[in-house]
Amino acid sequence: MARVVIIGAGISGLSLAWYLKALKPEWECLILEASSRVGGKAWTVLEDGFLCEKGVNGFLTNKPSSLALAAELKLPLYPANENSKRRFVVKAGRLVKLPEKPQEFLFSSLLSPLGRLRVLLEPFIAKNTSPEDESLASFARRRLGEEAFQHLIDPMAKGIYAGNPELLSLRYCFPRIFELEQTYGSLIKAMLSLKKQAAKQGKKGPGAGPGGHLTSFEMGMSQLTDSLANHLQGHIKLDAEAVELFKATASGQWRITTRKGETIDATHVVMACPARTAASLIAPHSPALSAALNNIDYPPVTVAALGFSKGLLKHPLNGFGFLVPEKERRSILGVLWDSSIFPNRAPEGYSLLRILVGGARARELAYLKDNDLLNRVKKELQELMGIHAAPEFVRIFRWDEAIPQYNIGYGNLLSCLQQESKHLPNIHMRCNWIGGVSFNDCIANSQDLAKKLAAT
């Protein structure tokens, strides 16, 4: 009988175990988690009536796996307010609304008339035929122009990856965009063609964004991971850090040793843990793969959650929040107006903001001491939002390793993984550093791996 040991109790590991138990209830399944809690980057903190997300804020309803999993767990969805579709970008020290529709783009002050004209010339730009990996920045400048890169694409890279678009790989960070250029030769041509196809089928065509509606749960994102953990009771070991992986010669199985000295045998091992942990465990068996995993960059991000009395705020907070392009030379990545996105994130009469600091291009700021970081954050809120009031609620959450970066050369890791896997029977990798960083990606990829394992 198969015994699957999953290293890591984030959303990847938890959802994988859930799907495996459904497909193969007779199999033994065990999750080893190094820390004293489950959930990984899904981490909700409730204090003084403020519901703060330390990590992921929600997920989009554009992927069926996440919605189906919530339904199986009987968790009601908690959709974001409609006005959360209103998003802003800082330009010259002011908040400028991002266009939601193509016609709004034509009159938006986010780009100059020449900048908008340059975007409209996109269909006449030849597609990239080079086999070399192209950065997101290079792609954006080539197809849309410098202005669009600075005010649209650069802040998008910050919002999704806290990354540097000069280093992020288009092919692996935004595979759909890469595919559209290769298939249609132009993003605008692709959108027009897809809209025409959708109209023939009586459907609404795709928009400029990823689609779907932002959604969470009433008690935050931890509600889903906690629910999974409750259903998997008896299959999770906390404070069980895996420190060594080797072949048990007598049985031919894999053997895992924990920090506390416990040994656990497994027919299959799944690394649902950060890349560096996987690199350490796999090093004796594949130095090449270990080195490739150690090359994955995880920039630090610090989250400052601040609660204000509504009566002291001049800003209406009528939207999702704003992102800050690198061109603005600010100390923050962006601000999420959490209590405007989801209605129960702050007590009556209060507003909750979450400010993101650090990332790939400002690592040192993520490590500022609390007082220094708060002083910088308050200065930015004063200048960008006119907030001069002192927050009545302050919590600071730090991620030393936040979001894995799919940088130029990421394809070499995938090639190495494919090659080395031939020599690592029944070892599998399933975490957000492979196959997509989003909550949706992790769940969908875990479901796929569960089906693959069950079929073998």
Query: Is residue 378 scored above 70 in pLDDT?
Result: yes
Confidence of residue 77 (pLDDT cuts 50, 70, 90): very high
Looking at the structure, tell me whether residues 278 and 318 fall in a common domain.
no
* DSSP class of 251: T
What is the per-residue pLDDT for 210?
63
Looking at the structure, tell me whether residues 243 and 309 fall in a common domain.
no
Looking at the structure, tell me whether residues 347 and 314 fall in a common domain.
yes
Looking at the structure, tell me whether residues 167 and 234 fall in a common domain.
no
Query: Is residue 90 scored above 70 in pLDDT?
Result: yes
Query: Is residue 351 scored above 80 in pLDDT?
Result: yes
Looking at the structure, tell me whether residues 290 and 418 fall in a common domain.
yes
Looking at the structure, tell me whether residues 157 and 169 fall in a common domain.
yes
pLDDT digits (tens, 9 = 90+) for 32-72: 999 999 999 999 999 999 999 999 999 999 889 999 999 99
Residue 57 forms part of a structural domain: no
Residue 65 forms part of a structural domain: no
What is the per-residue pLDDT for 104?
81
Query: Is residue 209 scored above 60 in pLDDT?
Result: no
Query: Is residue 423 scored above 70 in pLDDT?
Result: yes
Looking at the structure, tell me whether residues 121 and 168 fall in a common domain.
yes
Residue 94 forms part of a structural domain: no
Domain span at residue 145 reads 111-200
Residue 120 forms part of a structural domain: yes
* Residue corresponding to tokens 């016609």: 103
Residue 217 forms part of a structural domain: no
- Mean local confidence (pLDDT), 367-396: 97
What is the per-residue DSSP string for 342-380? STTSS-TTEEEEEEEEE-TT-HHHHTS-HHHHHHHHHHH
∠ Cα 110 115 121 (to 5°)? 130
pLDDT digits (tens, 9 = 90+) for 254-308: 999 999 999 999 999 999 999 999 999 999 999 999 999 999 999 999 999 999 9
Q: Which of 94, 413, 439 is nearest to 278 (CA)?
A: 413
Residue 116 forms part of a structural domain: yes
Of 200, 234, 262, the residue that ends a domain is: 200
3-state SS class at 341: helix
Query: Is residue 392 scored above 80 in pLDDT?
Result: yes
Which amino acid is it at 323?
A: L
- Whichever domain contains 369, its CATH number is 3.90.660.20
- Whichever domain contains 257, its CATH number is 3.50.50.60
What is the per-residue pLDDT for 31?
98
What is the rounded distance in angstroms from the CA atom of residue 262 to the CA atom of residue 242? 9
Looking at the structure, tell me whether residues 348 and 303 fall in a common domain.
yes
Query: Is residue 28 scored above 60 in pLDDT?
Result: yes
Of 200, 215, 249, the residue that ends a domain is: 200
* DSSP class of 116: H
Residue 313 forms part of a structural domain: yes
Count: domains in the chain: 3
pLDDT digits (tens, 9 = 90+) for 100-140: 877 787 788 999 999 999 999 999 999 999 999 999 999 99
Looking at the structure, tell me whether residues 391 and 409 fall in a common domain.
no
Residue 268 forms part of a structural domain: yes
Query: Is residue 76 scored above 70 in pLDDT?
Result: yes
* Residue corresponding to tokens 């939002």: 385
Confidence of residue 368 (pLDDT cuts 50, 70, 90): very high
